[in-house]
Structure formats: C-alpha cells, structure tokens
Amino acid sequence: MKSNVSWFVFGAAALISAASLYAQTPSPISGTLTVGGKTHKIVSACAFEEPDPFDKAKMQITAVFWTDATPLESNGCLGHGPTLQYAAQTKSTIFLEAVLDQPKLIWQNGTFGSKDGVASFSISGSDTLQFTAATPAPIGAATLSGAFKTTKPLEIGSSTKVVLDAKVTALKIERPAPLTNQLTGAAAANSPAAKAAIRFLTAMRKNDMPAVRAMIVEDERKTFDEQLASPDGKQMISMMSSMAEDALKMPVASVVTQGGITLVTLEKKVDGGAQSAKFKLRQENGEYRITRKR
C-alpha cells in the first residue's frame, strides 16, 4: 500500500499528486449545488483527464463545479485545488469535484469544499449519483457533455448533506503536457531541482521563514505572507517544520519535468509499501523555486 504525504506549503495549498500543466478554458455549465438545504447556482466548471493514481493503466476524468466566478490561475483545471480551497476559506466559494473512471464514467470519489472546510469522499453504490453522458464515453475525446445528478444527498462528514444537479455541454477536457525530462537514482538526487527542494525543506525544518519565502516563486509570495499573518500562521509554521523533518529522511526517488513544471519526489519504503513527499518547482531568474501551480 502506498501513502502520500500531502504538502500544503501555503497553509492549505496544493495537494501534489502529479505534475501537469493545463490551460483554463470557458465553462459551459448549468445547474445547482444544494448544501444543508440551501441551493446555490453553479457558475463555473472545468474538467481534466489523468491516469488513475491507483491504477496507472486506467484513466479518469474529473469534473469540477463551483458557485462563483473565481478564476483559476494559469495552471488551469488540474491545479484547481489551492485556488478553490483558498476561495472557500475567504470568499465562501462552494466547490465539488466528481471523479469519473474510464470507460464507464461511473463517479467513484471526489472532494467537497466550503467555508466549513474541505473533505474528500468516496461513492459507495451506483444509486448515489448518476452521470448520463450525452455522447459516448470520451476516451481521447476533446469535450465532455452530460448530466450529473445525485439520487440521494451525499453525506459529507458527519452532518453536511450535498445535492448536485448539473449539466455540461462540450466542456473541454484538459490534458497534461508531454514529459520533457525524467531522472531517477543518483541523477535525480544530484539534479538542481532536487537540491533546491532539499534546501527548501531544510529552511522549513529550521522555521526560517525568510529563507522559505525566498525559495517560493515571486508571484506566490503574497499568498504565503497572508497565510503566515493569519490566525493559523503559528500552527502552519509548526506543521511545516514537522513535515519537513519527516521528508528530509526520504531519499530523492525521481525528478520529472512536464510543461515547464518540475516535480521532485522523495520516497521511502514503509511496512511493505512506500511513503512519499512531492514538490513542484519552476525556474525563475535562473533558480528552481517552489510553486503550487501546475
């Protein structure tokens, strides 16, 4: 069994599961999200395709719906997590993602976010949600069309009930940029990107926030500053230090460059499986710096 350490560099920033670059596209969407009996209009949506993290031979499509016009950054749909999580905390944005396996397009899991927090969930039983495709299963297709509808409320956590009723028409399915470089072993460990990630972790472990800030890309430092100054700032620093200490015990497993983003993976074997920590970096002013974008 493989477990991943999720690095929330900016308090509750990006869950790093892959390194892909996507472009944001218009969202042909209609429908509502009803949360705790209150109905909200869905204003925005996007979709992307990626390998199933538990079965690389399979593909999955994720459709994401949210209740305002919060724009995604240039990293696009796959990088929606930190943008919409932060918007949920600060602007009362509500979002829900539906992960559909291929080729049957059955909703298997997802994530829900609101001002009360962000929670992942799994679907048990096909009677919870139906997706009716307006076109055949879109393996390799450019767009997704169809209707998402819960047949009974999704139970998120212990008390939140969520109902989704949405339609998408020719919603563009975004896909990753091609790999341009992949390193393993000593070549990965000695690469400039891996060394930059280790320096970042070392600064985190020492609670050296000026050094941590200097190793974040310039256009994301404002968000980092805001979260450090928030009421949860001290807890964030403590959490970062603890996670960094654990990560520094893991050797560098791979360094992959894709679409201008380099993903550094640290990994160690535990109890017959593996534990990993992943960091995204991009080059800026001749240096590798941490980014939450894809």
| DSSP strand pairing (154-156 vs 129-133) | unpaired
pLDDT for the residue 166: 94
Indicate the pTM of the whole model.
Answer: 0.64
pLDDT for the residue 294: 55
CATH architecture, range 179-290: Roll (3.10)
What gap in Å lies between CA 79 and CA 48, rounded to an integer? 10
pLDDT in tens, 20-62: 333 344 458 999 999 989 999 999 999 999 888 777 778 889 9
Would you state the structure tokens that stand for residue 5, as one six-digit string? 């350490």
All residues at 6 or more sequence positions from 136 whose CB lies less than 8 Å from its CB, including other chains: none
Would you state the structure tokens that stand for residue 202, as one six-digit string? 């070392």
Q: What is the mean pLDDT of residues 268-290?
A: 89
How far apart, in Å, are the Cα atoms of 39 and each of 35, 93, 119, 169, 283? 6, 13, 19, 22, 43
What gap in Å lies between CA 76 and CA 109, rounded to an integer? 21
Q: What is the DSSP letter of 216?
A: B
Q: Average pLDDT of the chain?
A: 83
The Cβ of residue 23 has, within 10 Å, a number of other Cβ atoms equal to 13
Say whether pLDDT at 19 is over 50: no
pLDDT in tens, 108-157: 788 999 988 888 888 765 557 778 887 776 777 889 999 998 888 888 87
Say whether pLDDT at 162 is over 80: yes
The domain limits of the chain are 22-174, 179-290
